[in-house]
Amino acid sequence: NAGVMQNPRHLVRRRGQEARLRCSPMKGHSHVYWYRQLPEEGLKFMVYLQKENIIDESGMPKERFSAEFPKEGPSILRIQQVVRGDSAAYFCASSPLSDRVGTEAFFGQGTRLTVV
Amino acid sequence: LAKTTQPISMDSYEGQEVNITCSHNNIATNDYITWYQQFPSQGPRFIIQGYKTKVTNEVASLFIPADRKSSTLSLPRVSLSDTAVYYCLVGDSNYQLIWGAGTKLIIKP
């Protein structure tokens, strides 16, 4: 059973371009979470999704950022018109049946976005 | 949402037992205490989780006093490969966990 797969591992974008980050959760997991991490800091929650539903996007910036988790295929975090401040590591995690603690969340290796 | 306080960094030596204490004075009744480990350029990895008293698995032990206002992660006989950042989190749902800066543990030969 493969772990949480994120791609690409590294992504370089020029200011104003779009960045698409993909996350395939572990098999059988229906809960996906996206986080952002700046160097020397902890993770910051962005969005929590279940299949075809956004459950909580309170951590997402109001503009330029969007996320989806379609019925088929990976979850996508999309950043439009990237700016230098978007440079960070973006992590995806998944859990099986519930978001409650006790159902451990498994993290991917992350996508390191660099905006030049 | 509960917040946690843990040391910014710690040093130890191979073969020693390492104890990292986390303070969470505002922990709520339904909150669990969860510890994650993160190596550079990798995603966090679950270590251990508990609600009260003591929990032990193949990697670590977690000690939680009766008032649950703190917890101690114990790593027995550490090796160089245990050098990582360790995060203490409290909450009752995965996505509501608030991640601090963690404790940077450096193991020396």
Please state the three-class secondary structure of chain A as a single string. CCCCEEECCEEEECCCCCEEEEEECCCCCCEEEEEEECCCCCEEEEEEEECCEEEECCCCCCCCEEEECCCCCCEEEEECCCCHHHCEEEEEEEECCCCECCCCCEECCCEEEEEC
Instruction: Indicate the residue type of B66.
Output: A
Locate B46 and state its tokens.
Answer: 């679950």
Q: What pLDDT score does B97 carry?
A: 80
Mean pLDDT value across residues B14-32: 94
For residue range A66-98, what is the model confidence (pLDDT) as tens digits? 999 999 999 999 999 999 999 999 999 998 866
> Which residues from chain A sit within 8 angstroms of residue B57, using beta carbons?
none
Mean pLDDT value across residues B27-56: 92
* DSSP 8-state secondary structure symbol assigned to residue B88: E
Q: Mapping DSSP to helix (H, G, I), strand (E, B) and coil, where does residue B81 land?
A: helix
**How far does the CA of residue B96 sit from the closest CA of chain A (Å)?**
8
> Which residues from chain B sit within 8 angstroms of residue A95, using beta carbons?
94
> Which residues from chain A sit within 8 angstroms of residue B8, using beta carbons?
none
For residue range B97-108, what is the model confidence (pLDDT) as tens digits? 888 889 999 999
> Which residues from chain B sit within 8 angstroms of residue A106, using beta carbons?
46
Beta strands B103-108 and B70-75, pairing class: unpaired
A105: nearest CA partner in chain B? B94
Check pLDDT > 70 for residue A41.
yes
Q: What are phi and psi of B94, to 5 degrees?
A: -60, -45
**How far does the CA of residue A106 sit from the closest CA of chain B (Å)?**
7
For residue range B8-17, what is the model confidence (pLDDT) as tens digits? 999 999 999 9
Asked if the Cβ–Cβ distance from A35 to B96 is below 8 Å, we say: no
Check pLDDT > 80 for residue B35.
yes
Q: What pLDDT score does B3 carry?
A: 84
Check pLDDT > 80 for residue B71.
yes
Check pLDDT > 90 for residue A108.
yes
- List of residues 6+ apart from B28 with CB closer than 8 A: B2, B90, B92
A35: nearest CA partner in chain B? B95
